[in-house]
Amino acid sequence: MTDIENALARLRALPVDPRLNAIDAAVLDGLNQQLAGDRSSGRLFVTAAAVALVTGILGSSFPGEPATAATTAFPFGAPAALAPSTLLAGVQ
Q: What is the pLDDT of residue 1?
A: 63
Q: What is the pLDDT of residue 70?
A: 64
For 88, what's the count of Cα atoms within 13 Å in the CB-facing half-sphere?
3
**86 near 79, Cβ under 8 Å?**
yes
Write out 42-92 in H/E/C secondary structure: HHHHHHHHHHHHHHHHHHHHCCCCCCCCCCCCCCCCCCCCCCHHHHHHHCC
Q: Which amino acid is at 81?
A: A
Biggest distance spanned by C-alpha atoms of the chain = 95
Average confidence (pLDDT) per 10 residues, the chain, 92 residues = 88 90 90 77 87 92 78 67 69 55
